Amino acid sequence: MITGFEDITYDLNDKEIACIEGFRKSLSLRIGKSKAITSNEIIESYEKSTGVKLAPARVRRIINCIRVNNLVPRLIGTQKGYYVAETPDELSDYLQSLGQRIREIQRVERSIAKQLMNWNND
The better pLDDT of the pair 6, 118 is held by: 118
Q: Give residue 54's domain range.
A: 1-86
Q: How confident is the model at residue 13 (pLDDT cuts 50, 70, 90)?
A: confident
Residue 15 is predicted with a pLDDT of: 86
- Mean pLDDT (whole number) for 71-94: 96
Residue 120 is predicted with a pLDDT of: 79
Mark whether 76 and 105 lie in a shared domain.
no
Mark whether 94 and 81 lie in a shared domain.
no
Domain CATH for 51? 1.10.10
Largest CA distance in the chain: 57
Beta strand extents in 9-106 (DSSP E only): 75-78, 81-84
Q: Say if residues 39 and 60 touch (Cβ distance below 8 Å).
A: yes
